[in-house]
């Protein structure tokens, strides 16, 4: 018997769960990961988010060193 192909769940593809995540939460998570990788405090800014078909998103990310003169 030939291996059966797995059916594509079209409804799952069309339900873009990324829309349920706030831009602020994404910015914070990205900044945290970059800061941990680099060992310095970084901040992240996300530009306009364009949600795509098939559960994706396009956006511009700006990651830069957080400068705190009091440290």
Q: Within a domain: residue 13?
A: no
How many domains does the chain fold into? 1
Domain that holds residue 60: 21-65
Q: Within a domain: residue 55?
A: yes
Q: Within a domain: residue 5?
A: no
pLDDT, tens digit, 9 for 90 and up, residues 2-30: 455 677 777 776 788 888 999 999 999 99
> Residue 44 in contact with residue 23, Cβ under 8 Å?
no
Q: Within a domain: residue 31?
A: yes
Q: Within a domain: residue 15?
A: no
Q: The pTM is what?
A: 0.73
Q: Within a domain: residue 52?
A: yes
Q: Within a domain: residue 41?
A: yes
Q: Two tokens at 4?
A: 């059966």
pLDDT band at 1 (very low <50, low <70, confident <90, very high): very low
Give the residue from 67, 29, 66, 26 showing the smallest Cα distance to 48.
Answer: 26
Q: Within a domain: residue 14?
A: no
């Amino acid at each position: 018997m030939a291996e059966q192909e797995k059916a594509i769940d079209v409804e799952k593809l069309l339900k873009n769960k990324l829309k349920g995540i706030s831009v602020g939460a994404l910015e914070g998570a990205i900044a945290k990961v970059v800061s941990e990788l680099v060992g310095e405090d970084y901040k992240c800014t996300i530009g306009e988010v364009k949600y795509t078909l098939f559960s994706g998103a396009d956006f511009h990310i700006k990651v830069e060193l957080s400068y705190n003169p009091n440290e």
